[in-house]
Amino acid sequence: MGYVLREGFSGFKRAKLSTTISIITISISLLLLGTFALIFANLQEMADTLRREVQVEVFLLDDISDGQRNRISQQIGSQAGVDSISYISKDDAAEIFKEEFGEDIYSVLDFNPLPASFRISLEPDYVHADSIAAMASFIETLEGTESVQYRQSLLEMLTDRIQTVLAVSIGVGILLAISAIFLVSNTIRLTIYAKRKLIQTMKLVGATRGFIRKPFLLEGFVQGVCGGALAAVLIYVTLYLIRTNLSEHLIVLGEYDLYFYGAVLLTGSILGLLGSTVSIRRFLR
């Protein structure tokens, strides 16, 4: 163990340039991955916000009884994906008309033609064109309902765009992760290449692969931790500057706790470990 620790940290003294390059490479890779993770999280939050704005409105017949209305409300509330239901009476509909159009319905007509309705808010995960169409078909079969209205074209466009953006984002994230491992692996190879004579000598005198591998794995792990810590600091400073210099209305980035920065640090250690594993395996072969 003493040898592993001594050799694992010796690279920081013997090969300062390559070690620094490794740490910076890991930091830049994590900075890109961290920035992508923030963008992806905010895209999902924006998508959920748009989904929450989608509502289904159920118009009721004028001669419906209170018992029928309560029964319809219970049947709708039992459907999967329903978050909340609000009842809008004919008088409430007239008030909404007055607020939106600035004119009293009774100043135009002698009666109120606006129907009572239920306004349904859905859970974000359930807001899809197919699921809402199925719900609308079920509600239209209920006795006492006149029609079901929702923005079908907007919903279909929203569903397609969200799926496309999330799919592209996941693909970009995978490419960034693979590129990060490749860059870290090739950078750490510089450190291992500087010790190739030592590795050959150790193999000649009978050292096992595990014995040779351990110091390099430790070195890669420590480099990954350092790169992760640097990336976490850079991300924190960047977010702080954005929140400080931008208006609150322009800020879409949320608050991120210590778990996020801990994940950045953990990812850095894993990248360093993977890079060392891939690089040392090539030399041992």
- Model pLDDT for residues 107-162, shown as the tens digit of each residue: 767 777 788 888 888 887 777 777 778 888 888 888 888 888 877 666 667 667 77
- What are the helix (H) ranges across 115-208? 129-140, 152-194, 196-204
Question: What confidence tier does 249 reach under pLDDT thresholds 50, 70, 90?
Answer: very low
Task: Name the residue with tokens 């001594």.
Answer: 6
Question: What confidence tier does 246 reach under pLDDT thresholds 50, 70, 90?
Answer: low
Strand ranges (E), the chain = 55-60, 82-88, 117-122, 145-149
Cβ(218)–Cβ(5) below 8 Å:
yes
Third-level CATH fold of 55-150: Alpha-Beta Plaits (3.30.70)
- What is the distance between the alpha carbons of residues 190 and 108, in angstroms, rounded to a whole number? 83
Strand order in the sheet with 82-88: 82-88, 117-122, 55-60, 145-149
Q: Which range is least confidently modeled, 60-64, 90-94, 257-261, 281-285?
A: 281-285
Which residues is 67 bridged to in the sheet?
Answer: none
Kindly state the tokens that stand for 181.
Answer: 């491992």
Task: Tell me the CA distances in angstroms from 185 to 15, 49, 83, 181, 277, one per residue in order.
Answer: 16, 40, 48, 6, 8
| Predicted TM-score (pTM) above 0.75 | no
> Where exactly are the structural domains of the chain?
2-49+159-284, 55-150
- Model pLDDT for residues 33-92, shown as the tens digit of each residue: 887 777 777 777 777 777 777 778 888 888 777 888 888 888 888 888 788 888 888 888
240 or 263, which is more confident: 263
253 or 47, which is more confident: 47
- What is the distance between the alpha carbons of residues 2 and 7, in angstroms, rounded to a whole number? 9
What is residue 96's predicted lDDT score, i.e. its pLDDT?
A: 77
